[in-house]
Structure 1
């Protein structure tokens, strides 16, 4: 009986101690949770207080308010859309008051395609892990600020006032968004054409410009840059201003399918071509059906149209120079003149595509203020966005081109009509085949 009483007492004691221990643990958890919440509220209070102080400083420095539809030009340092005293300008003005023409003028694309682009960049956020705007609440602003920078010629400090961040933050956002565009959208909008796309491009060249068996045109683009820290002379082009030169190839619709950028402005176009993947692919027959289709009763690969400074190849055609050594004093023959005429009409598709590219994405029509390592990625991103706008049918206003042609730094001209590299003998034979074709066309007419 005594043993049972002792056992009952021990059981009661152990139960009491366990219940007391559980109550102490629950109390400790509650106190810890309350302390964490108190610290969170404390930090939020000081964060909001610091934000209000920064906004007051910005509002003190900027006292002038402009019309909501004013867009800054290169001469007047205006602030677009609204003042920086309010930070809800996107929701209050852009999302409510912008008409379709405003979206097209300010962002160079429709509202629908703008948000499609933002959604496509969302998987990566549009920025790297070190971006100051990597927080989810600021992700949309990062993408919008970068797209505004690409589509306009306004300065970083103006965009920084719009979004309430520093100029260095805008610069980093532009870098990260350009990398995201290249990583996520390049496989969709900038890739080598398939066999069916090759045939479609050749059909388009023939139907629009009368040049058969051609699938694309190649040219170079110069983009003005800041003075680099080293090797300044290497970046001076033939016109004397500093630039980065890129090689682009377009199809019959004026869309880019190969871009090779990042070379100093003094680099010869032929050197860029021979060091690009385009040269290796075309030399191995990768840009033509296998087996090649027949042209003038001969199996012939598709050809590209290039600048006069390029060397003549079996797959790369160029125009006849005005003064040719093996031609008699009479100058070019009638068939060669007909070839040159059709060639220039067809090759102009790449010239127009580059003009539309610079007119739509105005960051390429002015001096690029980014660091030298960002410029090639920005050029590639603009080519991808150009293809996206063309593929989705965004309108292009012809008056945009007038602004590009009146800029201070026009594209440098070719160094001459003759290539510094020898022409391929088989390339001359292919060009004669085209001359015979155009001569037959003249006789039939």
Structure 2
């Protein structure tokens, strides 16, 4: 009886092992057949794709030959327009009008961006030259026209235009930002302070802080956050302008409804200036005592010992004295350097003055790239045409004004002493 039970259990075990082995073999065969069929479909797909591309290339060559032979008076092909008209026949004024920079600056920019923008030719397509990629992107930044129009003009696809704009903006931020958008050294601080004193009549000042609103299309999420104080949708940027009208620092990508004071207090500029990073050590002398250089700001910013803003014009039961009015006039006059810099920026790169239809993942990088290009053009001495400002004046999105910051600052007493020191200086000058 025990032998029968042992034999029965052994037979059951052998049957189970045989069935499991057969199932494993069947699964392996099914997987092998599926993999073979997948490879066949993959190879057929690429063969068909290659065949279609070859047929399209042959058909395109036939159509272009027929068009050139039968109608030689038609419009110049786009590739010929770029290679012959732009590269050989464009005059200096044409380069300024179309690309907002001189020919020399254009090729300088191409050389600097070549490590990031150069592409290799493939078996089916020739890569766009770096010069053409930069020209496509600059045309978009300068005019803000549709991708379809630029596509027809340069003879490339709309997706290629979008990719050129995106790639060039990222390349500018990666390669040129350390050179053209950086913190100043001691000599640059001193030069900027001299410019503020000689041109704007405000001493011991090295820069002005202001805001820039860039109109955007309605985002897919949190659209109400992007509505600014004037009611239209925008991306808000904080910019710092030196005495030459060039940008030292730019913080982009904030919704238009953000308070400028919050942006400032959470920026690296706040930490750097609070620690004395925007002034040499030891501080220069002003009115007989050592004082760090100051920045100028609008009424929406908090008063700090290193950030001067105007006195409130209306006080409850108090009359604003003449020294305070003089200080306000001098400060507003010096703030014109930031207003003019933003006007030149938006006039040169109209993607910032008209409504920008790019996605929110591209707009901040585009703003940074335009600010860097502004510094490149200004440092190279490229001509700025007055008629560009007329186009900005006709733009559909004028810059809104922010409400005044009323909360007391952390160093209110020291800040008031510095501001009174300036009042004494202007009173002595008068």
TM-score (norm 2): 0.81
* Distance in 1 between residues matched to 2:418 and 2:254, nearest whole Å: 31
Partner in structure 1 of residue 198 of structure 2: 207
> Which aligned pairs between 1:296-445 and structure 2 lie closer than 5 A?
296-325=287-316, 329=318, 331-415=319-403, 418-423=404-409, 424-442=412-430
Q: Please, which moves more after superposition, 90-99 or 298-307?
A: 90-99
**What's the CA shift for 1:50?**
4.9
SS across alignment from 1:123: helix
**What's the CA shift for 1:402?**
1.4
Partner in structure 1 of residue 57 of structure 2: 48
Can you list the C-alpha shifts for 1:285-342, whole angstroms capped at 9, x where unaligned?
A: 10001111111112111000001011100000001121024xx54x321111111111
SS across alignment from 1:280: helix
Q: 1:86 to 1:433 in 2, by over 3 A?
A: closer
SS across alignment from 1:310: coil
SS across alignment from 1:183: helix
* Distance in 2 between residues matched to 1:50 and 1:119, nearest whole Å: 36
Can you list the C-alpha shifts for 1:185-210, whole angstroms capped at 9, x where unaligned?
A: 11111110001100000011001111
Structure 1 unaligned blocks of 5 or more = 1-41, 66-82
Q: 1:275 to 1:387 in 2, by over 3 A?
A: same
Q: Match for 1:283 among 274, 279, 284?
A: 274
Q: Does structure 2 retain, via aligned residues, the 8 Å contact 1:100–1:111?
A: yes
Q: Match for 1:257 among 236, 248, 264?
A: 248
Q: Does structure 1 retain, via aligned residues, the 8 Å contact 2:110–2:130?
A: no
Q: 1:421 to 1:52 in 2, by over 3 A?
A: farther
SS across alignment from 1:289: coil
* Distance in 2 between residues matched to 1:200 and 1:43, nearest whole Å: 63
Q: Does structure 2 retain, via aligned residues, the 8 Å contact 1:55–1:85?
A: no
Q: Does structure 2 retain, via aligned residues, the 8 Å contact 1:171–1:370?
A: no
Q: 1:58 to 1:110 in 2, by over 3 A?
A: farther
Q: 1:155 to 1:57 in 2, by over 3 A?
A: farther
Q: 1:144 to 1:86 in 2, by over 3 A?
A: closer
* Distance in 2 between residues matched to 1:109 and 1:173, nearest whole Å: 18
* Distance in 1 between residues matched to 2:242 and 2:67, nearest whole Å: 48
Partner in structure 2 of residue 240 of structure 1: 231
Partner in structure 1 of residue 155 of structure 2: 164
Partner in structure 2 of residue 15 of structure 1: none
> Which aligned pairs between 1:124-135 and structure 2 lie closer than 5 A?
124-125=116-117
**What's the CA shift for 1:161?**
1.1
* Distance in 1 between residues matched to 2:118 and 2:268, nearest whole Å: 28
Q: 1:397 to 1:260 in 2, by over 3 A?
A: same
Can you list the C-alpha shifts for 1:15-69, whole angstroms capped at 9, x where unaligned?
A: xxxxxxxxxxxxxxxxxxxxxxxxxxx999656315437869999xxxx97xxxx
Structure 2 unaligned blocks of 5 or more = 1-50
**What's the CA shift for 1:428?**
1.0
* Distance in 2 between residues matched to 1:215 and 1:134, nearest whole Å: 51
Partner in structure 1 of residue 257 of structure 2: 266
Q: Does structure 2 retain, via aligned residues, the 8 Å contact 1:238–1:266?
A: yes
* Distance in 2 between residues matched to 1:308 and 1:57, nearest whole Å: 66
Q: Match for 2:113 among 113, 121, 131?
A: 121
Partner in structure 2 of residue 112 of structure 1: 104
Q: Does structure 2 retain, via aligned residues, the 8 Å contact 1:84–1:161?
A: no
User: How large is the Cα RMSD of the aligned pairs?
Assistant: 2.6
Q: Does structure 2 retain, via aligned residues, the 8 Å contact 1:126–1:143?
A: no
* Stretches (4+) displaced over 6 A: 42-45, 53-59
* Distance in 2 between residues matched to 1:57 and 1:240, nearest whole Å: 54
Partner in structure 2 of residue 87 of structure 1: 79
* Distance in 2 between residues matched to 1:248 and 1:55, nearest whole Å: 50
Q: 1:236 to 1:170 in 2, by over 3 A?
A: same
Q: 1:398 to 1:57 in 2, by over 3 A?
A: farther
